[in-house]
Structure 1
Amino acid sequence: MKQLLVFLCGCLALAPSFAAPAHHDVMIADHPHVQEDSHHHAKLDRCEGIEFDAIVPDEKGQTFFFKGDHLWKGFSGPSELANGTFKELDEFHHLGHVDAAFRMHNKDGDALKDHDHIFFFLDDKVFSYYSHTLEKGFPLEIQQVFPGVPSHLDAAVECPKGECVTDSVLFFKGHEVYNFDIKTKTVKKKVWSHLPNCTSAFRWLEHYYCFHGHNFTRFNPVSGEVEGHYPKDARHYFMRCQDFGHGGGHKKPRCKLDAISADDTGKTYAFIESMYIRLDSHRDGSHPFPITRLWKEVSGRVDAVFAYGDKMYIIQGNQIYIYKSATPYTLIEGYPKPLKEELGIEGPVNAAFLCANQHVVHIIKGQKMIDIDLAVTPRAVKSEFPLPIANVDAAMCDADGVKVYVGAKYYLYQSPRVLAVSKIQPAPHKISPEKFGCEED
């Protein structure tokens, strides 16, 4: 237990609360005011430029930023002593710092019991927490839980299947990266000399960040590749600080969708202007990112998006792009193609949606709905229906029914057929600014 405390108190100096990040990357926080303790009189201010020891979210999505024996909860608020949250630390007052930390992601097999647990690493020991409580039997030697992973780590971050090849954990030590397969407990070592030495690593909404000094660099978790202009100052993105802008001045878009869809893995996206917002990761907050971040070949606004099988279809004007849904999304060779060639209709269209386990895509164009059977080649219009609703912006079919979005509102219909034959427009519902990361008119 003494080693646990040595590990955690030293790390808990900085942690902002997890809200949606700022301009294309992450959100920001208020100026922290450090609480003093009879044993600790440090006045830690992350706006002065902090090199974090570890960054990790808990099972509810609240993110902790650690520095020494202090932490910050989320992107705003003051620093506080780590032992106020991790109670076992009360037994010791001579803690060092956490070397690394990550939140486990695994819902399969024996590892399910560790899903959403936080693992902390200090020297050669590992500690497992759930609901801020130390699990029975911990701390243990790192090798007992993660064979092949070295001690005295610099950083760690979870990488779920789909973003990595398998459910994995990336451990950093200098320029060496140890990819730990959670299911097989095997390790593959890589050297990413092009990345800075990460003192902490953080996954947020499918994006991976290496923190170094008061800066961060976004990287691909499979290749380590860095895309874009980095490093960037964390004070512009992960906290609110005087004289530091919110991610370069990002302004939230209006609550008016251009398209909305979920892929075959359950990832749900809303498209607004030239941005997309991930909707199924609500516990980690919401934030708009440029469409080109995931779909590199698509620039500007889209007209409609739908998923069929393991592919994502994006309609823009008279063209259609088809992507393989596996992360990262990969454009199928030969695309984009004319919409007429692929679906047998001319663009532009207003919206498109497909219901679960169905092969008929419903295209809304003007005030009519066009049905196209995707299981038939060549594809052609199967049927057309006049619609009782005009000026449709987007539509989606899910477990609730068919949601038809018009401006800042949406209308819920029981099924595509009900939408087609309905004579009475249902009561409107408001689009949630919190859920969609948008501004009401």
Structure 2
Amino acid sequence: MKLLLVVLCGFLALALSLAAPAQHDVEMADAPVGNPQPEEHSHYDSKFDRCDGIEFDAVAPDEKGTMFFFKGDHLWKGFSGPSEHANGTFQELDEYHHLGHVDAAFRMHNKDEDALKDHDHIFFFLDDKVFSYYNHTLEKGFPLEIQQVFPGVPSHLDAAVECPRGECVTDSVLFFKGSEVFNYDIKTKTVKKKVWGHLPNCTSAFRWLEHYYCLHGHNFTRFHPVSGEVVGAYPKDARNYFMTCPNFGHGAGHSKPRCKFDAISTDDQGRSYVFIENLYIRLDSHRDGSHPFPIARSWKEISGHVDAVFAYGDKLYIIQGNQIYIYKSAAHYTLIEGYPKPLKEELGIEGPVNAAFLCANEHVVHIIKDQKMMDIDLAATPRVVKIEFPIPIAKADAAMCDADGVKVYVGPIYYQYQSPRILAVGKISPAPFKISAEKFGCEE
């Protein structure tokens, strides 16, 4: 009897051991490959690696400046990091997955009072539908038919990108479909169709730091948002510029410049720049990141570093050596005919100079040269030095005047004064402040 009981127990243990792997195999067969647990939705593709050279469906920033890259039902947040499921950030898009992938996307720019409610919203286009999000939450009433929100704009778009007034003639959105471009005026809700046959068919497009990019395949082409003009050697590989990939460069080949300014200024459009060697950094678009660009990209006639920059009216003055360049600062900087001119002819002084600044609502430019400050009335004819002061700072690099007063930059530090007059009559320099590397995107 005991022997029979032992045999029966042995058979039972063997049966259980054979059954266990079979149950384990069933659980693994139900789970998606590469995932420890099954996902709630089964339509997801496997994860993408953008360093493989994929073609994006759409690219757009959110209201905080985070750039989103879309492919299928995945997205990437920013210029580095792995992909993730899009429904984790924009849940409602997943409920309409039967419509297909995101065709196009853009972040609205419209500060007009009657349309301010849409400013900084992200609009997604899927087939003939449009979704409006703010703070990653779908706005009430959406999705809607595209023509209900953007009359005259076709369905099944390829790409879209916002174009603020000042860069385009009016606050606009550029919609791409094949070789056709639909320029949508946000205020009048009118559309003008163009054909930019010289530009590749864009599968996505985005605006970043005043520049416009058409992505096609794993390449991109930078273009002018009004004319579609392409200047420079394009296409270029996006992996060298807009993502961090092994064996690929990042950015425009520039490391962060040092925190030693040559000039700093804000124009009448509210665009602020710091100039460092042969580069400039846009300051007022900080949420889109700080990035150095060659000065010649925005002021193509300028080669090398500049000595001083100041804005007066709707013009930007750039001083380089013994010459001065004057640009119209409307939609895009345009050199005024007849310039550059000798600095002596324009302002009545000899170059080079150390710095220049102009305070708001004033017409006197303050030029710093060596250890003196010269005041020149820009409303007078001819323009000549009206008064000259010694200043307590030697070897100034740059200067600016804003709501906080006058800042004079010397190497990695700056001195702050309440007004130009305080700077002129001061005998001792105040305690210096350190330039913020984080704020200006430079290296200490």
After TM superposition, the score normalised by the length of structure 2 is 0.90
Richer in helix (by share): 2
Matches within 5 A, 1:126-137: 126-137=130-141
Q: Tell which deviates more after alignment, 249-258 or 174-183.
A: 249-258
5+ residue gaps, structure 2: 1-33
2:299 matched to which residue of 1?
295
Question: What is the aligned counterpart of 1:88 among 92, 95, 107?
Answer: 92
Q: Are 1:251 and 2:255 counterparts?
A: yes
In 1: Cα distance, 2:341 partner to 2:151 partner = 49
More relative contact order, 1 or 2 (CA 8 Å, 6+ apart): 1
Runs of 4+ in 1 over 6 A off after TM superposition: 33-37
The answer on whether the counterparts of 1:255 and 1:438 sit within 8 Å (CA) in structure 2 is: yes
1:125 matched to which residue of 2?
129
1:15 matched to which residue of 2?
none
CA gap of 1:389–1:52, structure 2 versus 1, over 3 A, is same
CA gap of 1:343–1:93, structure 2 versus 1, over 3 A, is closer
| CA deviation after TM superposition for structure 1 residue 196, in Å | 0.6
In 2: Cα distance, 1:258 partner to 1:332 partner = 23
| CA deviation after TM superposition for structure 1 residue 41, in Å | 4.9
The answer on whether the counterparts of 2:409 and 2:415 sit within 8 Å (CA) in structure 1 is: yes
In 2: Cα distance, 1:152 partner to 1:281 partner = 31
2:21 matched to which residue of 1?
none
Question: What is the aligned counterpart of 2:187 among 183, 188, 197?
Answer: 183
2:107 matched to which residue of 1?
103
SS at match of 2:293: strand
Question: What is the aligned counterpart of 1:347 among 347, 351, 366?
Answer: 351
The answer on whether the counterparts of 1:177 and 1:190 sit within 8 Å (CA) in structure 2 is: yes
Q: Are 1:333 and 2:333 counterparts?
A: no
Aligned partner letter, 1:390: A
Question: What is the aligned counterpart of 1:377 among 364, 377, 381?
Answer: 381
SS at match of 1:240: coil
In 2: Cα distance, 1:429 partner to 1:200 partner = 43
CA gap of 1:268–1:236, structure 2 versus 1, over 3 A, is same
Aligned partner letter, 1:319: Q
In 1: Cα distance, 2:438 partner to 2:354 partner = 24
Q: Are 1:219 and 2:223 counterparts?
A: yes
Aligned partner letter, 1:354: L
Matches within 5 A, 1:36-435: 38=39, 39=42, 40-89=44-93, 91=95, 94=98, 96-247=100-251, 249-435=253-439
Q: 1:354-387 CA distances to partner (integer Å, 9 max, x unpaired)? A: 0000000000000000000001000111100000
| CA deviation after TM superposition for structure 1 residue 428, in Å | 1.4
After TM superposition, the score normalised by the length of structure 1 is 0.90
In 1: Cα distance, 2:97 partner to 2:67 partner = 24
Aligned partner letter, 1:281: S
In 1: Cα distance, 2:186 partner to 2:93 partner = 28
CA gap of 1:424–1:37, structure 2 versus 1, over 3 A, is farther
In 2: Cα distance, 1:179 partner to 1:37 partner = 44
The answer on whether the counterparts of 1:312 and 1:322 sit within 8 Å (CA) in structure 2 is: yes
The answer on whether the counterparts of 1:252 and 1:438 sit within 8 Å (CA) in structure 2 is: yes
In 1: Cα distance, 2:35 partner to 2:313 partner = 52
| CA deviation after TM superposition for structure 1 residue 252, in Å | 2.1
The answer on whether the counterparts of 1:100 and 1:122 sit within 8 Å (CA) in structure 2 is: yes
| CA deviation after TM superposition for structure 1 residue 247, in Å | 3.8
| CA deviation after TM superposition for structure 1 residue 436, in Å | 2.2
In 2: Cα distance, 1:337 partner to 1:171 partner = 41
SS at match of 1:289: strand
In 2: Cα distance, 1:212 partner to 1:179 partner = 20
Q: 1:45-69 CA distances to partner (integer Å, 9 max, x unpaired)? A: 0000110000000111011100000
Q: How many residues are treated as equivalent by the alignment? A: 408
1:439 matched to which residue of 2?
443
SS at match of 1:396: strand
In 1: Cα distance, 2:97 partner to 2:380 partner = 70
Aligned partner letter, 1:401: G
| CA deviation after TM superposition for structure 1 residue 271, in Å | 0.5
In 2: Cα distance, 1:129 partner to 1:37 partner = 29
- Who wins on radius of gyration, i.e. which is larger? 2
The answer on whether the counterparts of 2:254 and 2:292 sit within 8 Å (CA) in structure 1 is: no
* Identity %, equivalent residues: 83
The answer on whether the counterparts of 2:99 and 2:127 sit within 8 Å (CA) in structure 1 is: no
CA gap of 1:92–1:179, structure 2 versus 1, over 3 A, is closer
The answer on whether the counterparts of 1:34 and 1:80 sit within 8 Å (CA) in structure 2 is: no
CA gap of 1:35–1:301, structure 2 versus 1, over 3 A, is farther
Q: 1:66-104 CA distances to partner (integer Å, 9 max, x unpaired)? A: 000000000111110011001224546656200000000
In 1: Cα distance, 2:428 partner to 2:96 partner = 68
In 2: Cα distance, 1:228 partner to 1:436 partner = 27
| CA deviation after TM superposition for structure 1 residue 35, in Å | 10
| CA deviation after TM superposition for structure 1 residue 321, in Å | 0.6
The answer on whether the counterparts of 2:61 and 2:68 sit within 8 Å (CA) in structure 1 is: yes
| CA deviation after TM superposition for structure 1 residue 399, in Å | 0.8
| CA deviation after TM superposition for structure 1 residue 434, in Å | 2.3
The answer on whether the counterparts of 2:221 and 2:236 sit within 8 Å (CA) in structure 1 is: yes
In 2: Cα distance, 1:199 partner to 1:91 partner = 23
The answer on whether the counterparts of 2:47 and 2:74 sit within 8 Å (CA) in structure 1 is: no
5+ residue gaps, structure 1: 1-32
